[in-house]
Every structure is written in structure tokens, then in C-alpha cells.
């Protein structure tokens, strides 16, 4: 079944993905707190998501990527999204074929645009925090010391990012959320402790420092990639190949070196 459910404290945790052959190559998580949904999975399994989550009153979208908005057009609920991505939600761009296979082409829907600030909803105060980097529009939501943060926080095994990502912004956005009190971060890769978030920030800062050191020594981008990420797993190589390097180690290195390359 491509939609799996568990529970962590008061939060219902959903994990979904597309069955390709006999396995799901890439899972994505979304979450439900009482009748509020934070992100809603991918289009390819939208019908299963609707069946699993049941009735919800509101959906908060962290960003416009297809693996986070897929079921939104099919769920009867008030939808909230970063205001700067409303046009993309109404007119989703055609995505590459490999992303259609893995997640599915997103379908159009309308949402209410939100900025940073507080919103009282269903007995909960939802604080919206603008956290760009993974995407230009990325928003995180803080509710009762629970941080719902989309793809802002990954893990210390990360080697690739999308071409559009800005790792310097990601670092700044993580520093920003760490100024708030939260016990757990509920992200696209699962439930993470505050300590996990701090370790991820440290990982990015160390990578940035090492990449800059190698760049200043005169190493080429290809040499830096090999030195930072020796012996990458087959999944990384396959993703780079299938995506024609829309996802790549090179993107991560160039993004971390942004302050050196473009100064």
C-alpha cells in the first residue's frame, strides 16, 4: 500500500509514494493534527490519501512541489499556502517525466495566501514562518511546540539538492526556526527531534566550510564533489542520471559555494 499511517504523540504521520515495480523509490511524509493537515502527499496516490486522512477542515501547504500538494484538489477543506506561490498552484507547470513517475503531475487548485504571522484555527494558533531555500516560497508552521517544516530539514546523509535550491538560504532558515521553541520537527523525511535539526544545520555548515576551503585551494567543482562525497550510494547516482542532474551533488556544491562563485 503506497500510503502508510502511524502516530507520534498527537500527530498522525502519513508516508506515501508511488509503487514502481515492487518498491517505492522515494517516500514523502505529511501530517495531521486533529483535523488540520500539513501538506498532503503526491498526486499519484491522491485517492488513497483522501481515503486515509478522512475529513479535514484545513490544509497548510509548505511549498508548491508536487510531492506536497498532490491530494489538495481532492480534499474538501480550507487551503492555506504561501501567498507567493498561489499562481503556481492555480497553474501548475509541467514537470519532467521522471517526476511524473515518482510523484505525479500536480493538478490545479485555489488556496488562501498567507504571510508570516499567527492564525487562530480550530482551537489552535498556527504561526507561519517564512523559510525559503528548498524552494522560493517555503513556509514552516509552528503549532504547540511542533514544527511542520516540509523539506526545510533533511538529514546528515544528504548529498543532492534540486537545481533551484539555495543552501545558503536553507542554513539561514534553519537558524531562524531554531530561535523558536519546538520539541519536534515534522518534515518530508519524517519526525525529527530538535537535536536532529541542530545536527543537520551543523552538517550543512561543515560542508560549506569544507567546500569553501577546497575552492580557495584551487580545486575544481568536480574535484570538490569527489572529495566531499566519495563513494556515493547507487541511489544518488541513479537520481542524478534519471533527473539529468536536476537533482545532483553538483547543485549542492555550487549552492554552498554561492558566496564564493558570485562574489
The percent of residues above 90 in pLDDT, for the chain, comes to: 92
Once rounded to an integer, what is the mean pLDDT over residues 209-220? 97
Once rounded to an integer, what is the mean pLDDT over residues 105-126? 95
Phi and psi at 43, nearest 5°, equal: -60, -40
What architecture does CATH give domain 3-261? 4-Layer Sandwich (3.60)
Instruction: Output the furthest CA–CA distance in the chain (Å, rounded).
Output: 57
Beta bridge partners of 143: 146
pLDDT of 263 reads 57
pLDDT of 261 reads 79
pLDDT of 63 reads 98
CA 33 to chain centre: 19
Gap between the Cα atoms of 263 and 254, Å rounded: 13
Give the confidence band of 1 by pLDDT, cuts at 50, 70, 90. Answer: low
CA 10 to chain centre: 22
- Three-state SS at 193: strand
Owner of C-alpha cell 575552492? 215
Q: What angle do CA 194, 199, 202 make, to 5 degrees?
A: 130
Please name the helix (run of DSSP H) or strand (run of DSSP E) that holds residue 197, with its range, or none: helix 194-216
First to last CA, the chain: 49
Handedness of CA 235, 237, 243, 245 (dihedral sign): positive
pLDDT of 155 reads 96
With a cut of 90, say whether residue 259 has pLDDT above it: no
Please give the mean pLDDT across all residues of the chain: 95
Contacts of 192 (CB under 8 A, 6+ apart): 153, 155, 184, 185, 186, 200
Gap between the Cα atoms of 181 and 148, Å rounded: 13
Give the confidence band of 21 by pLDDT, cuts at 50, 70, 90. Answer: confident
- CB 91, CB 106: distance < 8 Å: no
Give the confidence band of 252 by pLDDT, cuts at 50, 70, 90. Answer: very high
Give the confidence band of 3 by pLDDT, cuts at 50, 70, 90. Answer: confident
- CB 143, CB 126: distance < 8 Å: yes
Entry pTM: 0.96
Contacts of 196 (CB under 8 A, 6+ apart): 153, 155, 185
Compare 88 and 262 and report the one with higher pLDDT: 88
pLDDT of 18 reads 94
pLDDT of 65 reads 98
Once rounded to an integer, what is the mean pLDDT over residues 208-234? 96
Phi and psi at 69, nearest 5°, equal: -125, 5
Between helices 221-228 and 249-256, what is the axis angle to 10°? 110
With a cut of 90, say whether residue 37 has pLDDT above it: yes
Owner of C-alpha cell 580545486? 219
Gap between the Cα atoms of 49 and 256, Å rounded: 36
pLDDT of 84 reads 98
Q: Which of 26-30, 119-123, 169-173, 212-216 has the lowest mean pLDDT?
A: 119-123
Give the confidence band of 260 by pLDDT, cuts at 50, 70, 90. Answer: confident
pLDDT of 206 reads 98
With a cut of 70, say whether residue 220 has pLDDT above it: yes
pLDDT of 192 reads 97
- CB 4, CB 15: distance < 8 Å: yes
Amino acid at each position: 500500500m503506497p500510503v502508510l499511517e502511524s502516530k507520534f504523540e498527537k500527530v498522525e504521520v502519513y508516508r506515501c509514494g508511488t509503487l514502481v515495480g515492487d518498491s517505492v523509490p522515494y517516500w514523502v511524509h505529511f501530517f495531521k493534527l486533529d483535523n488540520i493537515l500539513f501538506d498532503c502527499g503526491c498526486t499519484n496516490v491522491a485517492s488513497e490519501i483522501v481515503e486515509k486522512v478522512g475529513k479535514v477542515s484545513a490544509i497548510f501547504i509548505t511549498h508548491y512541489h508536487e510531492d506536497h500538494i498532490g491530494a489538495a484538489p481532492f480534499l474538501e477543506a480550507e487551503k492555506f499556502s504561501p501567498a507567493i506561490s498561489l499562481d503556481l498552484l492555480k497553474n501548475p507547470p509541467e514537470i519532467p517525466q521522471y517526476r511524473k513517475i515518482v510523484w505525479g503531475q500536480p493538478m490545479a487548485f485555489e488556496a488562501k495566501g498567507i504571510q508570516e504571522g499567527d492564525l487562530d484555527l480550530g482551537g489552535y494558533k498556527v504561526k507561519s514562518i517564512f523559510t525559503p531555500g528548498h524552494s522560493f516560497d517555503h513556509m514552516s508552521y509552528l503549532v504547540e511546540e511542533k514544527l511542520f517544516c516540509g523539506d526545510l530539514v533533511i538529514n546528515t546523509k544528504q548529498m543532492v539538492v534540486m537545481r533551484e535550491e539555495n543552501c545558503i538560504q536553507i542554513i539561514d532558515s534553519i537558524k531562524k526556526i531554531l530561535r523558536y521553541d519546538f520539541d519536534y520537527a515534522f518534515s518530508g523525511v519524517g519526525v525529527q527531534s530538535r537535536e536532529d535539526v541542530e545536527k543537520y544545520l551543523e552538517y550543512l555548515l561543515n560542508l560549506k566550510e569544507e567546500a569553501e576551503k577546497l575552492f580557495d585551494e584551487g580545486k575544481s567543482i568536480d574535484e570538490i564533489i569527489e572529495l566531499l562525497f566519495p563513494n556515493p550510494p547507487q541511489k544518488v547516482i541513479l537520481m542524478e542520471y534519471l533527473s539529468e542532474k536536476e537533482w545532483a551533488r553538483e547543485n549542492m556544491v555550487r549552492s554552498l559555494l554561492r558566496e564564493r562563485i558570485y562574489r
